[in-house]
Chain A
Amino acid sequence: MTWLVPLPVIMPLLGAALTLLMRRRPNAQRAVSVTVLAATLAVTIMLLALTVNGETLTVAVGGWAPPLGIVLVADRLAALMLVVSAAVTLCVLIYSIGQGMTDREENTPVSVYHPAYLILTAGVTNAFLAGDLFNLYVGFEILLAASYVLITIGATKSRIRDGTTYVVVSLLSSLIFLTAIGLIYAATGTLNLAQLAGRLDALPDSLQLGLQGMLLLAFGIKAAVFPLSAWLPDSYPTAIAPVTAVFAGLLTKVGVYAIIRTQTLLFPDGPAATVLLVAALLTMLVGILGAVAQSDIKRLLSFTLISHIGYMLFGIGLASDVGLSGAIFYVVHHIIIQTTLFLAAGLIERQGGTTTLERLGGLAKLAPVLGVLFFLPALNLAGIPPFSGFLGKLGLLQAGVADGGILAWLLVAGSVVTSLLTLYAIGRVWNLAFWRTPRTATAPDADAVPGRGMSRLMVGSTVALVTLGTALTLISGPLFDVTSQAATELLDREPYVYAVFGEESP
């Protein structure tokens, strides 16, 4: 069944080519994109079903044997990420189609949107499946190149302004990543992750630390880890709602995935774990304090996004079975919830004409459905039982307590404070936007399209994601089983290396 592995990359790329050819026929474009992403979702689910028993699927692209050729690896972690990302991208695509239909494509030039969106998906899946560092870099570049197009779509003044920050910062992180790749190749003579796992151990500690630092710097920018996070709230909020949603849900998590992969496989026990823990604490606290200070829903959500990246780093930094498992669970939870919240924010913008809290009000009466769609994922994010946010945080807290170090206890305290402050920030949005008596004079934002209302597709796809996010609670038992097995497998390292090289492990 290894032929399934490259499909999640190939299908969206082919779809992108097709949609590019059909740029004058929006309906055909929509049909192709939805079909391609639905097929991708089906393939990723099959991949997860195959890998969940511990089998790791590998494909040597073009038949070139692993150390030299490109190898794609689908293990539990990769397959899990693939399924979640495919589900989220499909829902967001349907949402954006709904938005494009009501807008009559004034604000969203659909001809560029669909190819760029599919290429973004291909980049994300390629990064998840990459079995060597250079392919990981290429995956990042594919998704970033597509994201540059998506974030500046329409090329209005504000989008160009915010896009510039985003593009320049992303390019810088890519260059740092590429430099790290050059140095790692010079030091070890390979970029294959499985081979590096053995060869990096042989290097002197200081050199290992330097290389690890460069990789962490590059991935830290992409994952928006404090102090490398300032670009995010500055650039995400101005894009169109579905784009912001998919960026917030997926792109930072690809960075987190890269951190998990390289930390566990390449640098299993280095002093960098302490740095990660400190960064996690600062990311949580600074992020959430930023969110409390915001008066715009999209910016507020961007700050909660940064802050909750801290939780994942917390789990990774602990470097224990339980911690890593909690981190992976949290990634899954957060991809879905953060995307849902941004989609709901998009709906708020369409219903209220703005996302500024000063001017919103009375939405609970105007649009009760929207209230539910915002309230459920918001509580989930804040970690109210019995939602998956609570379960994920509980898993991490248990891991922190089990670790028992001073820093771990500090992080446990920090996590609880962050969770409470998230609840406060979310509560503020709820009070001001939903419960307050409506203001009469609501001048709409320049970018917003007021009075368009929410189309059925937009609401439907948001409902689907809210349901998925809520259903995580129901499947949390099996999900935790998968994440803890994935964590054990990652920390063991042997299964990955064995899967790539078979008997003749280098």
Chain B
Amino acid sequence: MSPNLLLVIVVGVLFAAGVTLLLERNLTRVILGITMLGNAVNLLILLGGGYGGPPIVGVTPEARMSDPLTQAMILTAIVITLGMTAFLLAMAYRSWLLNGHDDVQDDVEDRRIVQLAERDQGLADQDTADEPSAAGAGGQQ
């Protein structure tokens, strides 16, 4: 029972595309990326269950059934991904209402720290230029 090569390739492509989209700034693209990753993982689990007929007693002989447990797990995973996608979409919409776009923004504190560092740099440059230094202004908290 070797896995289906086509499905393996599809899983790989979905993973790659999903990760690429996840790296975008735009939340809508991130959502698409997460959906793709979710589908990739579901297919991966399906592949893990082996290749065979529908696991229904009386339809397929027992030896040739595929694993029903993986399919049950995928069902759970699909439901979870659906809920999360809905929440993310609501968030993207809210972000669009509030900001007019749905780009993921920089951390405010990070930006402040960068500004502090730039100011310190600027002060240090001034210090070397003219001696009366702005003592203590650099490490202002």
> In the complex, what residues of B have CB within 8 A of residue A161's CB?
95, 104-105
User: Which of B54-62, B79-87, B120-128, B129-137 touches A?
Assistant: B79-87
In the complex, 7 of the A-B residue pairs with CB atoms within 8 angstroms, ordered by the A residue number, are A149-B87, A168-B88, A175-B38, A178-B41, A178-B77, A181-B73, A293-B113
> In the complex, what residues of A have CB within 8 A of residue B84's CB?
145, 148, 167, 171
Are B91 and A167 neighbours in the complex by a CB distance under 8 Å? yes
Are A168 and B30 neighbours in the complex by a CB distance under 8 Å? yes
Q: B92-124 interface mask toward A, CB cutoff 8 Å, 1 = contact, 0 = none?
A: 001100110000110111100100000000000
Are B41 and A164 neighbours in the complex by a CB distance under 8 Å? no
A157's nearest neighbour on chain B, judged by CB, is: B98
Additional pairs, 11, CB under 8 Å, beyond known A158-B108, A161-B95, A161-B104? A138-B80, A152-B91, A163-B91, A164-B91, A164-B104, A167-B87, A171-B34, A172-B34, A174-B80, A183-B48, A358-B141
Q: How far is the CA of A148 from the CA of B90 in the complex (A)?
A: 12
A155's nearest neighbour on chain B, judged by CB, is: B94
Tell me, rounded to whole Å, the shortest Cβ–Cβ distance linking A315 to chain B.
Answer: 31
Q: A176-191 interface mask toward B, CB cutoff 8 Å, 1 = contact, 0 = none?
A: 0011011101100000
> In the complex, what residues of B have CB within 8 A of residue A261's CB?
none
Q: A332-359 interface mask toward B, CB cutoff 8 Å, 1 = contact, 0 = none?
A: 0000000000000000000000000110
Q: Which of A134, A165, A186, A296 has a CB less than 8 Å from the CB of B109?
A: A296
Are B98 and A299 neighbours in the complex by a CB distance under 8 Å? no
Are A183 and B44 neighbours in the complex by a CB distance under 8 Å? yes
Q: How far is the CA of A161 from the CA of B94 in the complex (A)?
A: 10
Q: How far is the CA of A152 from the CA of B93 in the complex (A)?
A: 13
Q: Is A398 interfacial (CB-CB < 8 Å)?
A: no
Task: Say yes or no: A167-B98 contact (C-beta < 8 A), given A161-B105, A185-B48.
Answer: no
Are A157 and B99 neighbours in the complex by a CB distance under 8 Å? yes
Q: B14-30 interface mask toward A, CB cutoff 8 Å, 1 = contact, 0 = none?
A: 00000000100001001
Task: Say yes or no: A138-B107 contact (C-beta < 8 A), given A164-B27, A182-B44, A183-B48.
Answer: no
A237's nearest neighbour on chain B, judged by CB, is: B109
> In the complex, what residues of A have CB within 8 A of residue B13's CB?
none
Q: A371-414 interface mask toward B, CB cutoff 8 Å, 1 = contact, 0 = none?
A: 00000000000000000000000000000000000000000000
> In the complex, what residues of A have CB within 8 A of residue B73's CB?
134, 181, 185
Q: How far is the CA of A371 from the CA of B99 in the complex (A)?
A: 39
Q: Is A141 interfacial (CB-CB < 8 Å)?
A: yes
Interface residues, chain A, with chain B CB atoms under 8 Å away = 68, 134, 138, 141, 145, 148-149, 152, 155, 157-158, 160-161, 163-165, 167-168, 171-172, 174-175, 178-179, 181-183, 185-186, 233-234, 293-296, 299, 357-358
Interface residues, chain B, with chain A CB atoms under 8 Å away = 22, 27, 30, 34, 37-38, 41, 44-45, 47-49, 69-70, 73, 76-77, 80, 83-84, 87-88, 91, 94-95, 98-99, 104-105, 107-110, 113, 141
Q: How far is the CA of A233 from the CA of B105 in the complex (A)?
A: 15
Are A145 and B83 neighbours in the complex by a CB distance under 8 Å? yes
B22's nearest neighbour on chain A, judged by CB, is: A172
> In the complex, what residues of B have CB within 8 A of residue A185's CB?
45, 48-49, 69-70, 73
Tell me, rounded to whole Å, the shortest Cβ–Cβ distance linking B67 to chain A.
Answer: 8
Q: How far is the CA of A296 from the CA of B113 in the complex (A)?
A: 12
Are B45 and A181 neighbours in the complex by a CB distance under 8 Å? yes
Q: How far is the CA of A259 from the CA of B105 in the complex (A)?
A: 32
Q: How far is the CA of A174 from the CA of B34 in the complex (A)?
A: 11
Are A141 and B45 neighbours in the complex by a CB distance under 8 Å? no
A175's nearest neighbour on chain B, judged by CB, is: B37
A68's nearest neighbour on chain B, judged by CB, is: B69
> In the complex, what residues of B have CB within 8 A of residue A68's CB?
69
Tell me, rounded to whole Å, the shortest Cβ–Cβ distance linking B89 to chain A.
Answer: 11
Are B107 and A234 neighbours in the complex by a CB distance under 8 Å? yes
> In the complex, what residues of B have CB within 8 A of residue A296's CB?
109
Q: How far is the CA of A145 from the CA of B88 in the complex (A)?
A: 11
Tell me, rounded to whole Å, the shortest Cβ–Cβ distance linking A156 to chain B.
Answer: 8
Tell me, rounded to whole Å, the shortest Cβ–Cβ distance linking B39 to chain A.
Answer: 11
Tell me, rounded to whole Å, the shortest Cβ–Cβ distance linking B24 to chain A.
Answer: 11
> In the complex, what residues of B have CB within 8 A of residue A174's CB?
80
B34's nearest neighbour on chain A, judged by CB, is: A171
> In the complex, what residues of B have CB within 8 A of residue A164's CB?
27, 91, 95, 104
> In the complex, what residues of A have CB within 8 A of residue B77's CB?
178
> In the complex, what residues of B have CB within 8 A of residue A178's CB?
41, 45, 77
Tell me, rounded to whole Å, the shortest Cβ–Cβ distance linking A14 to chain B.
Answer: 20
Q: How far is the CA of A5 from the CA of B76 in the complex (A)?
A: 23
A164's nearest neighbour on chain B, judged by CB, is: B104
> In the complex, what residues of B have CB within 8 A of residue A163's CB?
91
Q: How far is the CA of A233 from the CA of B51 in the complex (A)?
A: 45
Q: Which of B34, B48, B76 has a CB less than 8 Å from the CB of A168?
A: B34
Tell me, rounded to whole Å, the shortest Cβ–Cβ distance linking A92 to chain B.
Answer: 23
Are A141 and B95 neighbours in the complex by a CB distance under 8 Å? no
Are B87 and A182 neighbours in the complex by a CB distance under 8 Å? no
> In the complex, what residues of B have CB within 8 A of residue A293's CB?
113
Q: How far is the CA of A158 from the CA of B98 in the complex (A)?
A: 10
Are B91 and A182 neighbours in the complex by a CB distance under 8 Å? no
> In the complex, what residues of A have CB within 8 A of residue B45's CB?
178, 181-182, 185
Are B44 and A167 neighbours in the complex by a CB distance under 8 Å? no
Task: Say yes or no: A186-B48 contact (C-beta < 8 A), given A295-B141, A299-B109.
Answer: yes
B113's nearest neighbour on chain A, judged by CB, is: A293
A140's nearest neighbour on chain B, judged by CB, is: B80
Q: How far is the CA of A335 from the CA of B104 in the complex (A)?
A: 31
Tell me, rounded to whole Å, the shortest Cβ–Cβ distance linking A187 to chain B.
Answer: 8
> In the complex, what residues of B have CB within 8 A of residue A295's CB?
141
Q: Which of A138, A168, A175, A357 has a CB less than 8 Å from the CB of B141?
A: A357
Q: How far is the CA of A158 from the CA of B108 in the complex (A)?
A: 9
Task: Say yes or no: A148-B87 contact (C-beta < 8 A), given A168-B104, A178-B41.
Answer: yes
Q: Which of A160, A175, A182 has a CB less than 8 Å from the CB of B98?
A: A160
